[in-house]
Structure 1
C-alpha cells in the first residue's frame, strides 16, 4: 500500500478541503484533526464497544432483589 499520494486542496464555501483517496479512507463518520507544526493529523473517532462502555460505568451500591424467590427449582419442573 502506498503511504503517500499527491492531492489537491480546494475551497468548499469558507473551508479548505481535500478529497481523501480510497486507500486512505477512515472508518466511521467522524474524525479529529490537529496540527503539529506544518503537519495535519486526522484520526477517526472510534465508538467504544460494549466492554469498554461497561468498564466506564460506576458500580452499583445496592443489591438486586431475588426475582427467582418462590419459584420451584428447575429440576422439579415437569415438561
Structure 2
C-alpha cells in the first residue's frame, strides 16, 4: 500500500506544475474571452428572469380581470334602454 505522505507530495507537485503551466494561462484567457463575449450580449441572470416572469404573470392576471370587467360593463350598457333625445 502506498504511503499517504508520498501521495500528498505527488498531489502537491502535480498541483504546482499545473499552476505554473501554460494550461493555467490558457484557462484564464478563455475565461476572460468568454466573459467579454457574454458582456456584449444582452443576458439576464436566472433571478432577474424569474422576477420578470412573476411580474408578467401578475400583469396577465390583472389584464384578464380587467377584460372581464370591461365585458361586464359593456353588457350592462347594452342592456339599458337608450336615452331619449331631448
From the two aligned structures, give the one with the greater helix fraction: 2
Query: How would you bin the TM-score normalised by the shorter chain?
Result: under 0.3
Of the two structures, which has the highest relative contact order with CA contacts closer than 8 Å and spacing of 6 or more? Answer: 1
The structure whose Rg is larger is 2
